[in-house]
């Protein structure tokens, strides 16, 4: 018995749909490109601010140029593009992978510098200038991670072109970490939590040396001891204050305006 020619129509529809699905697979426009062309295109994207478009091109290049210096360069450029596109966690992961795979790379100093820079700027936010937020008022993990990357760079590669800038940023980070302790101590003091204020001020004095924030830490100690009626400890702190900061204006003018943010002092 002959089958109606219309009986096979549903099968043709299914086959057509499958073929259409296959044809909708994104075409790899780099399939016939040389590694040099891929790199040039990725750099062009970065040059025009298309960092998110540059990342997949660098990933293509990593695979096709595997085992060559160009693949290493692609990894570093990808990390930078990820950083600039806002994918900071991915950028850090890319740099950590690079340093693990290429511990003897001549670009290791740059990898450390970029890692420190990413953490240094972490979470400042595009509107930080409105609130005048600085590092001393933020969570300090990123600052500490940044310091460690810069410290390793300046220790292992003291002659690196990035070492001087890394050392300057380390100084700022240390000052900010100390200022963070004092910022919290001031917060407690101004709310009458004098014991907590004393604890944070003492942390700053114990953990840091020769940083500007210690002057305010001593002032907070003096005022907190005085508020608690602990006159002997107050007088001891006052003697240290007079010896360390003979020109201090804290005792006559009280708390100063908070320190200038990064973009004002760098």
| Six-digit token string for 261 | 């943010």
Q: Where are the beta strands (DSSP E) in 200-244?
A: none
Residues 6 or more apart whose Cβ sits within 8 Å of residue 160:
109, 113, 153, 154, 166
Tens of pLDDT, residues 60-76? 999 999 999 999 999 99
pLDDT for the residue numbered 227: 97
Residues 6 or more apart whose Cβ sits within 8 Å of residue 137:
180, 183
> Residue 181 to residues 155, 192, 203, 217, 227: CA-CA distances in angstroms?
27, 17, 7, 9, 20
pTM: 0.74
* CA proximity to 147, closest of 179, 113, 104, 99: 113
Tens of pLDDT, residues 155-208? 999 999 999 999 999 999 999 889 989 999 999 999 999 999 999 999 999 999
Q: Are 129 and 148 in contact (CB under 8 A)?
A: no
| Six-digit token string for 65 | 């140029």
Question: For the domain with range 38-102, which CATH number is right: 3.40.50, 1.25.40, 1.20.1300, 1.20.1050?
Answer: 1.25.40
Residues of the chain with pLDDT below 70 are 1-26, 122-139, 257-266
What burial class does residue 13 get, using C-beta atoms within 10 Å of its C-beta: 0-12 exposed, 13-18 middle, 19+ buried?
exposed
Domain ranges within the chain, ordered by starting residue: 38-102, 178-265
């Amino acid at each position: 018995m002959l089958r109606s020619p219309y009986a096979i129509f549903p099968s043709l529809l299914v086959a057509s749909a499958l073929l259409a699905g296959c044809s909708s697979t994104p075409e790899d426009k780099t399939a016939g490109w040389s590694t040099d062309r891929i790199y040039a295109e990725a750099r062009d994207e970065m040059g025009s601010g298309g960092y998110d478009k540059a990342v997949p091109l660098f990933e293509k290049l990593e695979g096709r140029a595997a085992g060559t210096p160009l693949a290493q360069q692609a990894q570093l450029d990808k990390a930078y593009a990820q950083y600039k596109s806002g994918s900071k966690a991915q950028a850090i992961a890319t740099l950590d992978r690079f340093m693990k795979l290429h511990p003897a790379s001549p670009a290791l100093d740059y990898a450390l510098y970029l890692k420190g820079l990413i953490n240094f700027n972490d979470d400042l936010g595009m509107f930080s200038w409105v609130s005048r937020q600085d590092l001393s008022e933020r969570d300090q993990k990123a600052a500490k991670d940044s310091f460690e990357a810069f410290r390793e760079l300046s220790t292992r590669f003291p002659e690196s072109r990035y070492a001087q800038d890394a050392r300057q940023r380390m100084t700022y980070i240390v000052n900010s970490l100390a200022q963070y302790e004092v910022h919290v101590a001031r917060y407690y003091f101004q709310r009458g939590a004098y014991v907590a204020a004393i604890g944070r001020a003492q942390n700053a004095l114990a953990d840091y040396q020769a940083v500007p924030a210690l002057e305010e830490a001593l002032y907070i100690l003096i005022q907190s001891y005085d508020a608690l009626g602990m006159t002997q400890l107050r007088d001891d702190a006052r003697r240290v204050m007079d010896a360390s900061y003979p020109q201090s204006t804290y005792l006559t003018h009280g708390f100063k305006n908070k320190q200038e943010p990064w973009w004002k002092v760098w």
